[in-house]
Chain A
């Protein structure tokens, strides 16, 4: 079975500091991995996705993630946090045998001015 684990349910960074949100996956075959962001009272918005084309994936709003097979990780980073980045972030893996997605428990990002 496929799953993702997000380490740290709450992360706080200062404005302008590096953002690092952690995600580890469990999959016996190369996975399809995603990062989504959710702002208060809204649905999930796709940030980026990994589909084996390149290990470093660039997404919207300056975010990027690197797929590391040896570490079974897909951590999300942004060089400089902005106040508008404060939100909930979800890592997800898509099943290889269907269209079912498995989401992590989410990481709430707080940006301190």
Chain B
């Protein structure tokens, strides 16, 4: 099976712009989670989508939003970019079956805000 894919891999934006990142989960996986990774804060949970519904949400401002489509693909959007939004954004998918779910990660999108 193909792994989790994320596009684009690298992105450069300026302050005030908005950005949309895309994640395609492993085939058959219905849950998609998003994380922000920075050197200072480590891995921080943004949100999780399951069957097109946001099921969990981390402690991020409303500028960070996401959605999931019927084919389980997910997008996250960041509006009014700030310098501090520069980070590696990771997407993870899981099957959500019983209690032994494992998250499988994509390679990430490296966002640089200038």
Contacts and interface: CB of A to CB of B under 8 A. Distances in A.
SS class of chain B's interface: helix, strand, loop or mixed?
Answer: strand
Contacts of B100: 32, 49, 51
A99 B90 contact: no
Interface residues of B, number: 27
Nearest to B31: A99
Contacts, number: 59
Q: What's the interface size class on A, roughly? A: 20 to 34
Contacts of B55: 98-99
Given A41-B110, A43-B106, A102-B45, 15 more contacts: A32-B99, A32-B100, A34-B102, A41-B107, A42-B107, A43-B6, A43-B90, A44-B90, A51-B99, A94-B101, A98-B48, A98-B56, A99-B33, A99-B56, A103-B42
